[in-house]
Structure 1
Amino acid sequence: MKIAVAGGTGFLGRSITKALLDAGHDVVVGSRRRPEKAPLDPRAKWVAADVTAPETLSALLAGADAVVDAVQFPNSPIENPKKGYTFERIDLGGTRNLVDAAKAAGTPLFIGLSGVGAAEHAPYHWQRFKWEEEQHIVASGVPYVVFRPSWVYGPGDVSLNRFLSFAKFLPFVPVIGNGKTRINPLYVEDLAAHVVAAVQKPEARGRIFEIGGPEVLTMDDVIRTALRVSGRRRLLLHSPKPVMKLVASVAQLAPGRPLTPDAIDFITMDGVADTSSLREVFGLRLTPLEEGLAAYLKR
């Protein structure tokens, strides 16, 4: 099958692209950056496509049997409105454009990536935008499968690997908040495997699945596991969330916008996925955190 992957050069998109290629599919990757400036599996084809520019999407979708929306804005979840990097413009607006283009092109399947906690009256705007994009997918009439991932980790991520980078030169690892945020961390290759399975699983069509790893852990648990697997022993130094939001309110004014108060909320929110429906329909193994980390930290 020919599968289009929007955002195929990003963290999620790279793993999904590789998994689809390994499964024998033809993959065309759509992104704003040219292949020589972005990581691209040499087996995939590339076309210039930008979900915020609807006129660029027809080339990506031409002849596609399915499209995967793996688009994330740079440095997500740190929004940068001046550059147009926001959940509203990229996640919501971009998904709407891609769904509409898929409908116009007659694409037989749309696979979307939402997020755990998406709801109409969710406490955070990114969760509400994710819910809105889901509603647009459902209402479009295009056959769909939507996944709501928990916290995703793997080689090249900018979350867990950022914690480990601190351990290279500090005697401690800074943790925002009390470290008791609850998540079931999802190995990126497990997400990719489910996307591949969804392509040819009719019983998954028209459904939204939460997806996360097999263990519900606190953020402290996650970081300690990562330190153990990487062979480092460090203290965890917790910074109160209100203090860090104050720091972020100043940091957001710095060049590059390294941190924002909203990003502090994003980092410290619970994200536990209920995987019961996922397991029932897909039946794929979900990787424990220590095993997933060992797959790339010990290479």
Structure 2
Amino acid sequence: MTRVLVSGGTGFVGRFIVEHLMAGGYDVVVGGRTPPAPAFFSRPVAFVSLALDPDIDQRVAFRDVDHFVHAAFQHVAGRYRGGEGDDPQGFRRSNLDGSVSLFQTARDHGVKRCVFLSSRAVYGDQPSGAGLFEDTPCHPESLYGALKLEAESELAKLGNDEFATVSLRVTGVYGPSGKGATHKWQPLFDDYLSGRPIAPRAGTEVHGDDVAAAVRLTLEAPLAHLTSRVFNVSDVLVDNSAILAMVQDITGSKHALPGLATLIAFNAMNTEKIRALGWQPGGLERLQATVRSLLA
């Protein structure tokens, strides 16, 4: 059975990856600072200590590991952009130096593939309405985006025929939260159902399980098909008004919807490359079903 080490496996996105890979027959090991709480996952999962610290010898975590999925990221609670708080040097040391150290350890100990969860934040400021392709020049506007881009570059330098490397540029991830947590749209739903004003806002969204499916595809694809080692992972371009229209329809709320955002000006991510590997996200239908389940 193929063994996959997932760093940050108890995080919001990492949890989807762990569950998806287990369902696909992988032997999954969660790497993190603390073991998952009992019943956090649908069934027991092995755990190893793993930290974003370049000064720690973490070879033992990679023993008998075939693939490494790096989903861990250290940040101020609830924030990614701006997640450095008042410690940008510590943020860099953990999330860049710590990540590169894990990449190097994985390569040096026989890991066959490494998948890094990057972000659309690497693209930064782009012309209004321009599509985002994997070869679009990147201009990150945040330290978060800059470090994700640097980590992509450092991982690519380590890649070879024996150590295949992939970076997934993931957009806003939605889906049910883990045990004891609230989903990311809870404040939005609460504001709307309470009648509070909501500013128009557009964004690209992708379900956490669809992100996990992209991870699995890049672990399983023949090397000849990984001609690109960077893939955009995005699904639906939607605004707050459209999401809350679903809430309105389900709940019967009489509150007014926010104004429409200008979708034509948004920089949508092109996903032709990951779709060529067989990726089929759930689209608007999955978004609607998820909103319904979150409200239930």
TM-score category of the 2 structures, normalised to the smaller one: 0.7 to 0.9
1:218 equivalent in alignment to 2:247? no
Alignment match, 2:18: 17
Q: Distance in 2 between matches of 1:165 and 1:22?
A: 33
Indicate yes or no: 2:78 matched with 1:75.
yes
Task: Identify if the C-alpha distance between structure 1 residues 83 and 292 changes in structure 2 by more than 3 Å, giving closer, same or farther.
Answer: farther
Shift of 1:87: 5.2
User: Relative to structure 1, is the Cα distance of residues 148 and 38 closer, same or farther in structure 2, using a 3 angstrom cutoff?
Assistant: farther
Change (3 A) 1:88 1:162: farther
The answer (yes or no) to whether the contact 1:79–1:86 under 8 Å persists in 2 is no
Percent pairwise identity: 21
Q: Residue 69 of structure 1: CA displacement?
A: 0.8
2:288 aligned partner: 291
Deviations 1:244-293 (A, max 9, x none): xxxxxxxxxxxxxxxxxxxxxxxxx9562211111122242443253352
Say whether 1:116 aligns with 2:115.
no
CA drift of 1:193 comes to 1.2
In structure 1, the partner of 2:8 is 7
The answer on whether the counterparts of 1:7 and 1:31 sit within 8 Å (CA) in structure 2 is yes
Shift in Å, 1:144? 1.2
Report how far residue 34 of structure 1 moved: 2.5
Q: Is the 8 A contact 1:210 1:273 kept in 2?
A: yes
Flag structure 2 segments of 5+ consecutive residues without an equivalent: 124-137, 260-264
Q: Which runs of 5+ in 1 are unaligned?
A: 239-268
1:116–1:84 distance in 2 versus 1, CA, 3 Å: closer
What one-letter code is carried by the residue in structure 2 that aligns with 1:193? A
Structure 1 residues 67, 278: CA separation in 2 closer, same or farther (over 3 Å shift)?
same
Does the 8 A contact of 1:8 with 1:14 survive in 2? yes
Q: CA 1:55/1:185 → structure 2, altered by over 3 Å: closer, same or farther? A: same
Looking at structure 2, the residues matched to 180 and 270 of structure 1 have their Cα atoms a distance apart, in angstroms, of: 10
Tell me if the contact between 1:143 and 1:205 (Cα under 8 Å) persists in the aligned partners: no
Residue of 112, 135, 148 corresponding to 1:130: 148
1:106 partnered with 2:110: yes
Q: Which sits farther off after the overlay, 102-111 or 6-15?
A: 102-111
1:180-201 CA-to-partner distances (Å, cap 9, x unmatched) read: 43x3210111101111222111
1:26 aligned onto 2:32: no
Pair 1:200-2:224 in alignment:
no
TM-score (norm 1): 0.76
Distance across 1 between alignment mates of 2:90 and 2:250 = 34
What one-letter code is carried by the residue in structure 2 that aligns with 1:187?
A: H
- Map of 1:259 onto structure 2: none
Following the alignment from structure 1 to structure 2, what is the Cα–Cα distance between the partners of residues 56 and 38? 30
Contact 1:160–1:223, Cα closer than 8 Å, also in 2: no
Greater mean alpha carbon deviation, residues 283-292 or residues 121-130: 283-292
Give the Cα–Cα distance (whole angstroms) in 1 for the partners of residues 93 and 57 of structure 2: 16
Q: Does the aligned pair in 1 maintain the 2:213–2:279 contact within 8 Å?
A: no
Mapped partners of 1:294, 1:95: distance in 2: 34
Aligned residues: 263
Which string of whole-angstrom CA distances, capped at 9 and with x for unpartnered residues, describes residues 139-166 of structure 1? Answer: 1123112111111111116532331243
Which stretch shows the higher mean deviation, 153-162 or 191-200? 153-162
Contact 2:54 2:94 in 1 (8 A): no
Q: 1:82 to 1:275 in 2, by over 3 A?
A: same
Partners of 2:5 and 2:68 in 1: CA distance: 5
Quote how far apart the aligned CAs of 1:113 are: 0.7
Residues 201-222 of structure 1: CA deviation (Å, up to 9, x unaligned): 1223651110111x32234333
Give the conservation status (yes or no) of the 8 Å contact 2:120–2:169.
yes
SS in 2 for 1:50: coil
Higher alpha-carbon deviation: 142-151 or 279-288: 279-288
Q: Distance in 2 between matches of 1:294 and 1:217?
A: 13
| 1:282 equivalenced with 2:254 (yes/no) | no
Once residues 63 and 231 of structure 1 are traced to their aligned partners in structure 2, the CA distance between those partners, rounded to angstroms, is 54
Question: What TM-score do the two structures reach when normalised by structure 2?
Answer: 0.76
1:43 aligns with 2:44: yes
